[in-house]
Amino acid sequence: MTDLKKIKKEAEKEIGSAKDLKELQDVFNQYLGKRGELTQILRSLKDMPKRERIMFGKDANDVKNALTIAFDEKSAGLKAGEARAAEEKEWIDVTAPGKKIAVGHLHPLTLAKRKTMEIFQSMGFAVAEGPDIETEWYNFDALNIPKDHPARDVWDTFYLKDGPLLRTHTSPVQIRYMEKNNPPLRIIAPGTVYRHESTDSSHEFQLYQVEGLMVDKDISVANLKAVVGEFFRRFFEKEVDFRLRPDFFPFVEPGFDISITCLVCGGKGCSVCKETGWLEVAGAGMVHPNVFKAAGLSPEWQGWAFGFGLERLAMLKYRINDIRLFRSSDLRFLNQF
Ligand code: FA5
């Protein structure tokens, strides 16, 4: 009887102090498991004389029932506590502000290129392409720049081994396109060009150009001015002053350079416009008859062509004061677009 009381007291104490279900299970095993202390006592009942068995058996079973109830209650309490803890751990605050996801965006030159293509396409121009690695024929000869012509020096060229070169402008696409397509035609040809030049705030050795070509029966400089003016209006989303001044390119006659009032300084003069208030953005002119001939067309056709520097346009649109920023990979610059 003393053993029973002792067992009950100790078991109740241990049940009370079990911190989690595992500890409680251990206590259960210690007393009521297969080899538990109380289980052993209950098993020994059968060897007792009948009278004692009846008396002692009742008390032993009472202790067993009391402990079983204490176990169940403690177990229920611990389970509820654990469920509450898990709930608290997994609690989601639906009102908390979300994490900001970094979203990629387009490079300013890509934006400028897409905008340019969109504007010219809406004016009926097709988009043509040509290879970055060109032959001397397409880059020079077919454009009325024969081998020893001094104009070849205007473009410092990267020559590759055994003849080919990195195109110095997008004008070769004029020839390639006219070889395959008969006039009337209108195209633009955006692409990368390469020049063996030292760099400064408005010069790069790798740049984008956008070639334009319009060929028909009765095409004049007035058409060129009208198309270019419309392009500027839509590209810069405002009226901008631009001017055509005589310039020389062997593949056009007459030839011009096209400049815009510097939008970076508002025409006052800055490092981008070299203090002149104007920035040259394109070469242009009426297609030379020799160019038609080289492309296998009759020199009777008329047409104009231009070659824009896309970086220069983007610099004016976004007010960027150094062309070298475009390819600097500087995220502080790029994240502004
Ligand atoms: C040409 O490349 C001629 N092919 C353009 C042309 C096409 C004339 C059709 C007539 C008819 P130019 O070398 O000037 O021309 O370059 C044209 C434009 O490219 C320049 O006005 C300028 O905007 C840009 N550009 C030229 N060189 C650089 C450079 N190093 N860095 C940045 N932009 C440049």
Q: Which of 63, 155, 284, 314 is catalytic?
A: 155
In a domain, 284, yes or no: yes
Same domain, yes or no: 276 and 132: yes
pLDDT tens per residue across span 219-242: 999 999 999 999 999 999 998 999
**How do residues 319-329 score in pLDDT, each as one tens digit?**
898 999 999 99
Specify the CATH number for the domain of residue 310: 3.30.930.10
User: Is 252 known to be catalytic?
Assistant: yes
Q: Is residue 101 part of a domain?
A: no
pLDDT in tens, 10-36: 988 999 998 988 998 898 998 888 988
In a domain, 97, yes or no: no
Residue 288: the pLDDT is: 98
Does the predicted TM-score (pTM) go above 0.85?
no
Q: Same structural domain for residues 150 and 29?
A: no
81 and 151 belong to one structural domain: no
| pLDDT (average), residues 162-172 | 95
Domain identity same for 298 and 172: yes
Minimum CA distance residue for ligand 1 atom 9? 306
Please compute the mean of the pLDDT values over residues 69-74 and round it to a whole number.
90
In the predicted model, what is the mean pLDDT of residues 282-293? 98
The domain of 21 spans 2-89
Interval 120-137: pLDDT, tens = 999 999 999 999 999 999
Indicate the pLDDT class of residue 2, thresholds 50, 70 and 90.
Answer: low
102 lies in a domain?
no
Instruction: Please indicate, yes or no, if residue 310 is contained in any of the structural domains.
Output: yes
Q: What is the mean pLDDT of the chain?
A: 92
Q: Which residues line ligand 1 (CB under 6 A)?
A: 169, 171, 195, 197, 203-204, 207, 209, 249, 252, 255, 280-285, 305-307, 309, 311-312, 323
Between 192 and 60, the higher pLDDT residue: 192
User: For the segment 144-156, what is each residue's pLDDT rounded down to a tens digit?
Assistant: 998 887 767 767 8
What angle separates helix 50-89 from helix 2-17, to the nearest 10 degrees?
0
Domain check: are 44 and 152 in the same one?
Answer: no
Residue ending a domain, among 43, 62, 89, is 89
Query: Hey, which of 195, 208, 245, 312 would you mutate to test ligand 1's pocket, going by the most ligand atoms within 8 Å of its Cβ?
Result: 312
- Residues 143 and 236 reside in one and the same domain: yes
DSSP letter for each residue of 275-321: TSSEEEEEEEEEEPHHHHHHTT--TT-EEEEEEEEHHHHHHHHHT-S
The number of domains in the chain is: 2
Q: Give the residue whose CA is nearest to atom 26 of ligand 1.
A: 309
- Provide the edge-to-edge strand list for the sheet that holds 206-216: 126-127, 185-194, 206-216, 302-309, 278-287, 252-261, 242-246
Q: Choose, from 215, 305, 312, 314, the residue flagged as catalytic.
A: 305
Question: Which residue among 249, 279, 286 has the greatest number of ligand 1 atoms within 8 angstroms of its CB, and so is best to mutate?
Answer: 249
- Residue 171, classified by CB atoms within 10 Å of its CB into exposed (0-12), middle (13-18) or buried (19+), is buried
Which residue's CA is the nearest one to ligand 1's atom 21?
282
Together in a domain, 180 and 248: yes
